[in-house]
């Protein structure tokens, strides 16, 4: 996978390109508004942590078609009847639309637009696939990581999943999303360098196995990393390994338990460390952990100071995808804004450009959200979508990642505890504004009557 062009206009589904050609060739130059949102939350998620917005905006600012890429489309059988003018259009293609977005780290719920795109139809259509892919994945991982962080009750959580993420790029982006959601760092060195995320590591079983004995392996590591050695103790026999370290009389920074009975071994390890007079040696646990196992460990009184969470954090196995969609809600027709909606069974969408308003209770906690039309101004509601691009350019520079992380932390303090339970589905109250509900019902009835759908 070399030199993938992240600005490529081909990073999309073919039908976005054929539809763009269709809009172009039939003269449909009017603007449309699309919204990106999750239809439903997975059963095991009470909230989403928005992430991936900056990557989406980067794409909108830089999307281009190279001559070679246009050549590919010209030769493609689907474009047989498409005029040369469309390919000229692609050669000078720029995204020129206006975009509103929830800033990264925002807590969001089902039905709420995370991104709203208003642009000439062909442009807004073309970028659908990339926007979904960028926002879906990081939001998925940030939402999972937030649960793991909650389960750890203040103990540091390090993202360890690069090797099992869905490809190399996914590993880097998962580290970014996990950091936004409150993880304390990552093992991914590239993400550390690219995004300024703290990076951590211990040692692998191979280090132990490469040496003639465990003692030698531990001693050599302590020689090179006298202040930063977290020693892996489960290669052969956990307790025997800890005895060996104690007998060496060289205090490590930490011990890492990666298999076996973590609760029992951590208690044993703490006692043994205390007996050695080592009260500040950290016990670090890893090995196929997730939020439920961490919760169970802590309930069982495990003596663990920090957690490394890999596969479960970066693949989100209890919800490996979220049903995010990107739906047309308004189109300008004959100079007039026409609200549109879809009424497929179980896939209906609400019409019109929207804003999400958040209401707080008297103590300042989040009380409820209302999804309203963008021109409504419900009193006391804080709008969550903010202008991000105007005429295809960022209105302000990309946020520091630390700001997104702080936003998430702050919002979690304002989200009532019951929604932060990892073991129970409790729905945060989200409603549509009365005006929006009336419009939806009127349109749905018209569609059912089979009248011309406007």
Question: Minimum distance between the CB of residue 9 and a second copy, rounded to whole angstroms?
Answer: 8
Residue 148's nearest CA partner among 269, 42, 286, 300 is 286
Nearest residue (CB) to a second copy, 393 versus 418: 393
Residue 270's nearest CA partner among 279, 261, 262 is 279
Taking only Cα atoms into account, the Rg of the chain, rounded to an integer number of angstroms, comes to 26
Binding to a second copy (CB under 8 A): which residues in 186-245?
Answer: 187-190, 192-193, 199-207, 209-214, 220-221, 223-228, 234-237, 240
Out of 343, 359, 419, 432, name the contact with a second copy by CB under 8 A: 343
Strand partners, 185: 158
Binding to a second copy (CB under 8 A): which residues in 346-405?
Answer: 346-347
Question: Minimum distance between the CB of residue 242 and a second copy, rounded to whole angstroms?
Answer: 14
Which helix (H) or strand (E) element contains residue 430?
strand 430-432
The most distant pair of C-alpha atoms in the chain lies apart, rounded to whole Å, by: 85
Residues in contact with a second copy, shown as a per-residue x/- string from 78 to 97 under the rule CB under 8 A:
x-xxx---------------
Torsion of CA 199, 405, 323, 313, to 10 degrees: 30
Question: Minimum distance between the CB of residue 445 and a second copy, rounded to whole angstroms?
Answer: 12
Nearest residue (CB) to a second copy, 20 versus 412: 20
Out of 74, 251, 342, 360, name the contact with a second copy by CB under 8 A: 342
Choices 98-106, 328-336, 356-364, 367-375; region in contact with a second copy by CB under 8 A: 328-336
Nearest residue (CB) to a second copy, 143 versus 316: 316
Binding to a second copy (CB under 8 A): which residues in 8-67?
Answer: 8, 10-19, 21-23, 25-26, 28, 32, 34, 55, 58, 62
Contact 403, 381 (CB under 8 A): no
Binding to a second copy (CB under 8 A): which residues in 134-193?
Answer: 134, 136-138, 140, 160, 162-174, 187-190, 192-193
Choices 6-14, 365-373, 404-412, 429-437; region in contact with a second copy by CB under 8 A: 6-14
For residues 248 and 269, what is the distance between their CA atoms, to the nearest angstrom?
A: 16
Nearest residue (CB) to a second copy, 175 versus 412: 175
Nearest residue (CB) to a second copy, 165 versus 412: 165
Q: What is the DSSP string of 128-163?
A: HHHHHHHHHHHHHHHHHHHHHHHHTTTS-EEE--GG
Q: Does position 101 bind a second copy by CB under 8 A?
A: no
Out of 29, 40, 76, 393, name the contact with a second copy by CB under 8 A: 76
Nearest residue (CB) to a second copy, 66 versus 96: 66
Q: Does position 406 bind a second copy by CB under 8 A?
A: no
- CB neighbour list of residue 341: distance below 8 Å, 6 or more residues apart: 329, 348, 349, 350, 351, 440, 443, 444
Nearest residue (CB) to a second copy, 149 versus 208: 208
Contact 126, 153 (CB under 8 A): no
Question: Minimum distance between the CB of residue 54 and a second copy, rounded to whole angstroms?
Answer: 9
Out of 37, 109, 130, 357, name the contact with a second copy by CB under 8 A: 130
In degrees rounded to 5, what are phi and psi of residue 83?
-75, 160
Question: Minimum distance between the CB of residue 353 and a second copy, rounded to whole angstroms?
Answer: 14
Q: Show contacts of 215-218: CB within 8 Å, 24+ apart.
A: 215/244, 215/248, 218/244, 218/245, 218/248, 218/250, 218/252
Question: Minimum distance between the CB of residue 206 and a second copy, rounded to whole angstroms?
Answer: 4
Pairing type for strands 306-309 and 157-159 reads: parallel
Binding to a second copy (CB under 8 A): which residues in 253-272?
Answer: 258-260
SS3 152: coil
What does the chain come to in residues?
454
Question: Minimum distance between the CB of residue 258 and a second copy, rounded to whole angstroms?
Answer: 7
Question: Minimum distance between the CB of residue 28 and a second copy, rounded to whole angstroms?
Answer: 7
Q: How far apart, in Å, are the Cα atoms of 163 and each of 32, 68, 177, 188, 315?
A: 41, 33, 16, 9, 11
- Only one residue has tokens 């992430």, namely 51
Nearest residue (CB) to a second copy, 262 versus 412: 262
Nearest residue (CB) to a second copy, 69 versus 98: 69
Question: Minimum distance between the CB of residue 5 and a second copy, rounded to whole angstroms?
Answer: 8
For residues 162 and 169, what is the distance between their CA atoms, to the nearest angstrom?
A: 9
For residues 36 and 39, what is the distance between their CA atoms, to the nearest angstrom?
A: 9
> Exposure pattern of 85-110 as b/e (b: 16+ CB <10 Å)?
ebbebbeebebebbbbbbbbbbbbbb
Count residues contacting a second copy (CB under 8 A)?
127
Question: Minimum distance between the CB of residue 116 and a second copy, rounded to whole angstroms?
Answer: 14
């Amino acid at each position: 996978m070399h030199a993938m062009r992240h600005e490529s206009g081909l990073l999309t589904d073919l039908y976005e390109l054929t539809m763009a050609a269709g809009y172009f060739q039939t003269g449909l130059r009017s603007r449309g508004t699309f919204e990106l949102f999750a239809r439903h939350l997975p059963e095991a998620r009470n909230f989403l942590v928005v992430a991936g917005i900056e990557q989406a905006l980067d794409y909108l600012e830089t999307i281009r078609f190279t001559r070679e890429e246009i050549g590919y489309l010209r030769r493609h059988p689907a474009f047989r009847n498409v005029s040369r003018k469309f390919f000229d259009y692609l050669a000078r293609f720029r995204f020129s639309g206006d975009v509103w977005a929830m800033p990264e780290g925002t807590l969001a719920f089902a039905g709420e637009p995370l991104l709203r795109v208003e642009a000439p139809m062909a442009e807004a259509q073309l970028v659908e696939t990339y926007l979904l892919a960028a926002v879906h994945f990081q939001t998925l991982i940030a939402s999972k990581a937030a649960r793991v962080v909650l389960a750890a009750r203040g103990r540091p959580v390090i993202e360890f999943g690069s090797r099992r993420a869905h490809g190399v790029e996914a590993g880097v982006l998962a580290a970014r999303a996990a950091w936004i959601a409150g993880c304390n760092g990552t093992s991914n060195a590239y993400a550390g360098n690219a995004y300024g995320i703290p990076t951590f590591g211990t040692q692998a079983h191979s280090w132990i196995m490469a040496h003639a004995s465990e003692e030698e392996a531990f001693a050599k590591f302590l020689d090179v990393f006298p202040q930063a050695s977290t020693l892996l103790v489960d290669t052969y026999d956990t307790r025997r390994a800890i005895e060996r370290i104690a007998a060496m009389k060289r205090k490590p920074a930490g011990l890492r338990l990666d298999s076996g009975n973590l609760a029992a071994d951590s208690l044993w390890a703490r006692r043994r460390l205390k007996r050695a007079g080592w009260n500040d040696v950290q016990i670090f646990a890893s090995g196929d952990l997730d939020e439920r196992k961490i919760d169970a460990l802590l309930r069982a009184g495990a003596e663990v100071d920090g957690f490394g969470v890999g596969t479960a954090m970066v693949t989100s196995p209890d919800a490996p995808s979220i049903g995010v969609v990107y739906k047309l809600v308004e189109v300008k027709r004959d100079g007039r804004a026409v609200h549109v909606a879809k009424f497929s069974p179980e896939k209906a969408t609400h019409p019109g450009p929207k804003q999400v308003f958040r209401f707080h209770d008297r103590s300042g906690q989040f009380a409820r959200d209302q999804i309203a039309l963008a021109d409504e101004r419900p009193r006391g509601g804080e709008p969550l979508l903010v202008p991000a691009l105007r005429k295809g350019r960022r209105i302000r520079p990309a946020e520091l990642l630390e700001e997104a992380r702080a936003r998430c932390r702050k919002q979690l303090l304002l989200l009532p505890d019951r929604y932060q339970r990892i073991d129970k589905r409790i729905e945060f109250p989200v409603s549509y504004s009365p005006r929006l509900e009336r419009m939806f019902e009127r349109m749905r009835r018209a569609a059912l009557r089979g009248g011309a759908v406007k």
